[in-house]
Amino acid sequence: MVKPDLRVKLGPLELKNPVLTASGTFGYGLEFRPYLDLNRLGGVVVKGLSPRPRAGHPPERIVETPAGMLNAIGLQNVGVDAFLSEKLPALRAYDTAVIANVFGETLAQYVEVCAKLDGAPGLAAVELNVSCPNTEAGGMEFGNDPRALARVTRACREATALPLIVKLSPNAPDICEAARAAADSGADALSLVNTFVGMAVDVERRRPVLSRGTGGLSGPAIRPLAVWLTWRVHRAVPLPLIGMGGIMGARDALEFILAGATAIQVGTANFVKPDAAVRVLQDLEAYLVRHGIASVRELVGALEWPDEAAP
Amino acid sequence: MVKPDLRVKLGPLELKNPVLTASGTFGYGLEFRPYLDLNRLGGVVVKGLSPRPRAGHPPERIVETPAGMLNAIGLQNVGVDAFLSEKLPALRAYDTAVIANVFGETLAQYVEVCAKLDGAPGLAAVELNVSCPNTEAGGMEFGNDPRALARVTRACREATALPLIVKLSPNAPDICEAARAAADSGADALSLVNTFVGMAVDVERRRPVLSRGTGGLSGPAIRPLAVWLTWRVHRAVPLPLIGMGGIMGARDALEFILAGATAIQVGTANFVKPDAAVRVLQDLEAYLVRHGIASVRELVGALEWPDEAAP
Amino acid sequence: MPYDLEAPVTRNTDLGHGNFLIEFEAPEIVGCMKPAQFFMIGVPGSKLLLRRPFSVCGLPGTFDDGRPGSAQVLYKVVGEGTALLASLRAGARLEVLGPLGRGFEAPEPGRRALFLAGGIGVAPFPAFAAALRREGREVGLLYGARTAGDLPLLEWFERVCAPVEVATEDGSRGRRGLVTALLEELLRKEDPSAFHVYACGPQPMLKAVAQWARRHDVRCDLSLEARMACGFGVCLGCVVPTRGSGPEGDVGFERVCVEGPVMRAERLAW
Amino acid sequence: MPYDLEAPVTRNTDLGHGNFLIEFEAPEIVGCMKPAQFFMIGVPGSKLLLRRPFSVCGLPGTFDDGRPGSAQVLYKVVGEGTALLASLRAGARLEVLGPLGRGFEAPEPGRRALFLAGGIGVAPFPAFAAALRREGREVGLLYGARTAGDLPLLEWFERVCAPVEVATEDGSRGRRGLVTALLEELLRKEDPSAFHVYACGPQPMLKAVAQWARRHDVRCDLSLEARMACGFGVCLGCVVPTRGSGPEGDVGFERVCVEGPVMRAERLAW
Ligand SMILES: Cc1cc2nc3c(=O)[nH]c(=O)nc-3n(C[C@H](O)[C@H](O)[C@H](O)COP(=O)(O)OP(=O)(O)OC[C@H]3O[C@@H](n4cnc5c(N)ncnc54)[C@H](O)[C@@H]3O)c2cc1C
Ligand SMILES: Cc1cc2nc3c(=O)[nH]c(=O)nc-3n(C[C@H](O)[C@H](O)[C@H](O)COP(=O)(O)OP(=O)(O)OC[C@H]3O[C@@H](n4cnc5c(N)ncnc54)[C@H](O)[C@@H]3O)c2cc1C
Ligand SMILES: Cc1cc2nc3c(=O)[nH]c(=O)nc-3n(C[C@H](O)[C@H](O)[C@H](O)COP(=O)(O)O)c2cc1C
Ligand SMILES: Cc1cc2nc3c(=O)[nH]c(=O)nc-3n(C[C@H](O)[C@H](O)[C@H](O)COP(=O)(O)O)c2cc1C
Ligand code: FES
Ligand code: FES
């Protein structure tokens, strides 16, 4: 059989294959050069960028939980300027879509980062991390308030001509409402999900393990929840989706694709197996060959909903 | 050291120890006689009861996921009358609090079951499962709509003099709002959490594994989420709480107790290790002895919130 | 009465083509177990949350080289749990709950036992065949599979049972075709009411056998499979639709782990 | 350059009191590994999602009975991951990523190496001791623990290093008290600037040593521990506060897995 066609389109963003790496789990990409060929990847989403460098939270920042982990890194990052001058030049040498993940504590900070990224050569898209407390609105996360989410999306839309991806939080009261707010405000695509808020307790010391008390849950534990949210958003909103949450192998990636994701991101798996993303890609291709499927696009949302099922 | 005091009080409901078994994971209790001494348990919550017997959903009803499982049993049960005539007489012979889990598709059904249970000798309390679609309100789950939740709680409160526990759904847009609605409407205690909605896809057959499409996620995977929700509700509402979600051992039970649960329920663990609940109890007692803690009640909500933590 | 034990593996033999025969020591369980009852088996520390159901294949007296107090389980690697089992060596420990479920009943006096096995569905038959032969009963086996490699323990059955007839879908051994064709053929030559049919295998095969048995009014028991969480009746996850078990005496659901795994063919509402 | 390999366990020796020495074959990694660098080790199919970090304890040439192309790791059972390791036999397979992190640098010419170990914190020292001794350098060890059983490999060090002094909190071996007392005592007798101190052990011990080294202006390197998810710099989970690394040159956070595990004591902002 001829090689299956892996190309996918997320609105204006064209990818040579649907396998990306998730923000915060792949550093600035370059750290993975010993483990895999970056040229193989559909894209790389770098660690979240803020206007200025950030130190992040004190330890403990991470803890393992059953089939998952909690993290409260506190968005430590080099800042957008250092990213542009020190990281991007090396990264754009690879044949992969470089996507900048952006966050802010105010609308102005989001806009500032987007504007700086706007003209950057070798940048393929911007992904907005809206799971960040809005300090001007009492600390409620942007992503949990559809109006704030719409405002930040619209402002970033105006600040950059790059394809705009909005990354949804699973902690929003209604993720479909959030999806619609982003869709109506100029997003080209949606990615989902970010981490779920959780807590682990050190029962010997009788305090939370993490210094921040809570952290974001990622890894295989959340996959059934994330697949379900992907399918819900897929049926609610006409935008292309990027699915993630606990993808360890191609089988898991296919769950998201069948549930409506045009592309997927590999996150926590990168920590466990540094070449996880390339393995996902290889095995995805093998699946298409085995099933005689000419293009991965045929599978997007191709889940057959059982007759007996709930609507 | 003297034996630690394990007694706890959930409003009017007094238990000899805080270890209960969760509804739907312990049958009608009697099935566990080969595996453990029912007299050891603080209480047994039986499978959800409806006015009339229910056949439940067709297979597939369950599927394992990482550190968890999805179920869509469809509330198959013998009905409240058969429970009262066939199950309760044998069960009440044991020195353990028997708690009836109740659900309905209409408010009237909840009330009907509560009224039938009201005078039943040997019944210690009623637990309302409100994660059930309200057929009179377009199928939205009672637990996801604070007003419907308040109404059903108040109606059941009037229908029975038994201690009333309302079991919260983690799928509600705001679990604290649901908790307040139940508290304000006459609940004596709250239990949390019920299962999270999720989905698993059979990628070879390109359809959901479960006949219903979705199922409820339980097991260790959800523990960090459930512990966090317990702590949130504990700080929001003054009612006693019963915590659950992925408790496999005493360490896990202690996470919930420290986060504010006065008692806990062992669920999925009963499938994996039929004597799990008694092991939890034994090891909990050993922990108290090791730490020189006179009463388990000292630990309820005793989590030290770190200074650096988010509020 | 079931026991929940830690059982040491005494051997784990690769029979080729992904089929393995594992043996473990569990004297308490083995002492009260009947053919076609099953175990829930877990591997401590593994990433799988739930145990997996496996029929007892061999009990003391089934295989000549079986150890006292031990049982054998015949399994095929189809996923993570069975792959994990296949990786174990002697000395490893299993968590074993059993005996569970309702096993096979011996045929009425005068009837001959006829086993229908599809591939790994042969697993519950050795213990039953050995027990029946000890009582001097006649036992026949019709054994179907996709291909010759998928016929584990065939040589053992050829020593113990008669007749033993084989069908493979690719014709690589015995007749080309399905095991149900062997059944039709045999019972064209002989009087169906002289037999008690026991069938175990993939669901499509069992459905065909059940239909056939209903049509010809042959006494037929099926050993069923289902996804299981608990194995002892409390999760309600393992049900099959059966006639007369519903709330109003209509079609309802019964548990493979308690009302089965062996059920009379005519009860199934497939 | 790190490799991610499947490495067969060649032995796993119980040293008593929950301490084990495991050996595995990983020639590519071992060929370019330095003392105090570390591995991320996972057990395939286990229920743990993340690998666990372990220092290299022995490299070819460290232990007389070490196999070529193999490394030894000294570990203590403290939780699920280490308990799982302890259950493995020769022939089991590990997932091993390494070498990772910055290891020990040899002391400047003329300085003597002085190791400070707290319990299982002794793990990175054998490979370093052997390498320094091969170059004819002098190596001393001050070894503290709670009790006599918590002093794994003490006999080995007594053959290779001098002086070797021991302190236990319960006095069951050597001096009663903390290892830092041994340090103060030794350096009261000798000129601190003749030493390069290397310390590894529980955080309170390292903090005390770091303070002491700052006070006496002794060159001191610490081998740190932290919870790790990745081990190669991308999760930012393993940080410690260090001076001068913050966004404005203030206190910031550095990664134990990349900027460490060996860090100069004065850099830590504890
Ligand atoms: C009463 C009973 C007795 C059984 N006896 C045997 C036996 O003696 N030997 C043997 O090899 N197998 C037997 N099985 C089937 C066996 O339980 C499954 O093959 C096993 O659970 C698969 O586990 P896994 O982790 O390897 O696969 P999974 O990763 O769980 O699943 C792999 C594939 O198997 C299917 N599957 C999963 N669980 C079951 C199940 N319980 N029944 C049918 N299909 C399933 C899945 O749909 C999937 O296609 C029995 C099942 C039951 C219910
Ligand atoms: C660079 C480095 C090198 C190390 N070298 C060795 C070594 O050579 N030998 C050895 O025995 N141990 C070493 N450790 C510590 C070892 O990684 C932990 O003991 C191990 O991860 C515990 O895993 P577990 O699953 O058994 O315990 P868990 O169940 O994960 O935790 C058990 C206990 O250990 C604590 N803990 C968990 N992870 C760590 C960690 N990374 N550091 C410190 N405490 C932790 C927890 O707070 C808990 O109290 C090293 C750690 C690092 C970072
Ligand atoms: C340690 C860590 C750091 C993360 N940092 C970011 C981040 O900076 N920006 C962001 O949008 N998401 C971040 N995420 C979320 C992931 O990109 C991803 O949405 C989530 O982990 C779910 O996918 P997974 O289960 O495959 O890891 C982070 C996740 C982890 C585990
Ligand atoms: C198979 C199954 C059936 C359940 N049935 C019920 C039920 O009838 N009523 C109810 O309130 N909760 C039911 N639950 C939810 C459990 O009581 C419990 O809230 C949930 O499983 C979380 O706890 P766990 O992770 O310890 O299992 C069921 C759970 C499972 C796994
Ligand atoms: S497997 Fe749980 S009821 Fe049958
Ligand atoms: S362990 Fe991931 S950055 Fe150090």
Report percent pLDDT > 70 for chain C. 100
Cis peptide before D163, with omega less than 30 degrees from 0?
yes
- Residues composing chain A: 311
Q: Which residues of chain C lie closer than 8 angstroms to D47, CB-CB?
A: 45-48
Q: Is pLDDT of B308 > 80?
A: no
Q: Is pLDDT of B309 > 90?
A: no
CA distance C72 to chain D (A): 24
Residue B228, classed as helix, strand or coil, is: helix
Per-residue pLDDT of B3-42, as tens digits, reads 999 999 999 999 999 999 999 999 999 999 999 999 999 9
D210: closest CA among D223, D195, D229? D223
Closest in D49, D227, D241 to A60, CB measured: D227
Per-residue pLDDT of D53-81, as tens digits, reads 999 999 999 999 999 999 999 999 999 99
Q: Of the ligands numbered here, which is closest to the C-alpha atom of C50?
A: 1
Residue D175, classed as helix, strand or coil, is: strand
The better pLDDT of the pair C48, D247 is held by C48
Query: Where does residue A133 rank: exposed (0-12), middle (13-18), buried (19+ CB within 10 A)?
Result: middle
Please give the structure tokens belonging to residue C193: 């009411």
Question: Kind and range of the H or E element at B306?
Answer: none
Write down which chains contact chain B via at least 3 CB pairs under 8 A: A, C
pLDDT at D59: 98
pLDDT at C188: 87
Q: Is pLDDT of D203 > 80?
A: yes
Q: Is pLDDT of B1 > 80?
A: no
Q: Atom 21 of ligand 1 has which residue's CA nearest to it?
A: C52
Segment-wise mean pLDDT, segments of 10 residues, chain A, 311 residues: 91 98 97 97 97 95 98 94 96 97 95 96 97 79 94 97 97 96 98 97 98 96 98 98 98 98 98 98 98 98 86 64
Cα separations in angstroms, B61 against A221, B200, C185: 19, 12, 38
Report percent pLDDT > 90 for chain C. 91
A24: closest CA among A66, A77, A90? A77
- Residues composing chain D: 270
Per-residue pLDDT of C27-80, as tens digits, reads 999 999 999 999 999 999 899 999 999 999 999 999 999 999 999 999 999 999
A211: closest CA among A110, A104, A62, A64? A62
Closest in D47, D80, D89 to C46, CB measured: D47
Q: From start to end of chain C, where are the E strands?
A: 3-16, 19-25, 38-42, 52-55, 70-76, 93-100, 112-118, 139-145, 164-168, 175-176, 195-200, 219-223, 239-242, 252-255, 262-264
Q: Is pLDDT of C203 > 80?
A: yes
Amino acid at residue number B126? V
Closest in D47, D89, D91 to C47, CB measured: D47
Per-residue pLDDT of B247-263, as tens digits, reads 999 999 999 999 999 99
Tell me, yes or no, if B258 comes closer than 8 A to chain A by beta carbon: yes
CB contact set of A99 (below 8 Å; sequence gap of 6+)? A20, A43, A44, A45, A46, A123, A124, A125, A126, A127, A165
Cβ–Cβ gap A271/D229 under 8 Å = yes
Mean pLDDT score of chain D? 96
Nearest CA in chain A to B254: A203
**Cα four-point dihedral sign B75, B78, B84, B86:** negative
Q: Which residues of chain D lie closer than 8 angstroms to A54, CB-CB?
A: 247
Q: Is pLDDT of B236 > 80?
A: yes
DSSP per-residue codes, chain A = -PPPB--EEETTEEESSSEEE-TTSSTTSGGGTTTS-GGGSSEEEPSPB-SS-B--PPSP-EEEETTEEEE-----B--HHHIIIIIHHHHTTSSSEEEEEE--SSHHHHHHHHHHHHT-TT--EEEEE--SB-GGGTT-BGGGSHHHHHHHHHHHHHH--S-EEEEPPTTSS-HHHHHHHHHHTT-SEEEE--PEEE--EETTTTEESSTTS-EEEESGGGHHHHHHHHHHHHHH--S-EEE-SS--SHHHHHHHHHTTEEEEEE-THHHHSTTHHHHHHHHHHHHHHHTT-SBGGGGTT-PPPPTTS--
- Tokens 């299981």 belong to C228
- Tokens 């990409």 belong to A29
For residues C183 and C116, is the Cβ–Cβ distance under 8 A?
Answer: yes
Ligand 1 nearest atom to the CA of residue C83, by list position:
26
Nearest CA in chain B to A195: B225
Distance between Cα D222 and ligand 1 center (Å): 52
Per-residue pLDDT of A215-247, as tens digits, reads 999 999 999 999 999 999 999 999 999 999 999
Tell me, yes or no, if B308 comes closer than 8 A to chain A by beta carbon: yes
Q: In angstroms, rounded to a whole number, what is the distance separating the alpha carbons of residues B303 and C210?
A: 59
Query: Where does residue D55 rank: exposed (0-12), middle (13-18), buried (19+ CB within 10 A)?
Result: buried
Distance between Cα C5 and ligand 5 center (Å): 19
Please give the structure tokens belonging to residue D115: 């190791």
Provide the 8-state DSSP code for B30.
Answer: G
D245: closest CA among D226, D235, D258, D228? D258
- Tokens 């509560």 belong to B114
Per-residue pLDDT of D107-122, as tens digits, reads 999 899 999 999 999 9
Encode burial over C45-63: b for 16+ CB neighbours within 10 A, e otherwise.
ebbbbbbbbbbbbbbbebb
CA dihedral C160, C162, C163, C165 (to 10 degrees): 0
- Residues composing chain C: 270
Q: Is B156 a catalytic residue?
A: no
Nearest CA in chain B to C81: B64
Q: Which of B62, B83, B203, B279 to mutate to test the interface with C (most CBs of C within 10 A)?
A: B62
CA distance C155 to chain B (A): 34
Cβ–Cβ gap A310/B173 under 8 Å = no
Q: Which residues of chain D lie closer than 8 angstroms to A271, CB-CB?
A: 50, 229-230, 234-235
Confidence of residue B307 (pLDDT cuts 50, 70, 90): confident
Nearest CA in chain B to A227: B199
Q: Is pLDDT of B137 > 80?
A: no
Confidence of residue B220 (pLDDT cuts 50, 70, 90): very high
- Phi and psi at residue A194, to the nearest 5°: -75, -175
Tell me, yes or no, if B307 comes closer than 8 A to chain A by beta carbon: no
The better pLDDT of the pair C188, B215 is held by B215
Provide the 8-state DSSP code for D128.
Answer: H
Amino acid at residue number A249? G
Q: Is pLDDT of D93 > 80?
A: yes
Size of interface B-C (CB pairs under 8 A): 91
pLDDT at A311: 64
Please give the structure tokens belonging to residue B241: 């709480």
For residues C209 and C199, is the Cβ–Cβ distance under 8 A?
Answer: yes
Q: Which residues of chain B lie closer than 8 angstroms to C236, CB-CB?
A: 24, 47, 56, 61, 73, 76
pLDDT at D53: 98
ipTM over 0.95: yes
Confidence of residue B161 (pLDDT cuts 50, 70, 90): very high
Please give the structure tokens belonging to residue C67: 């150890």
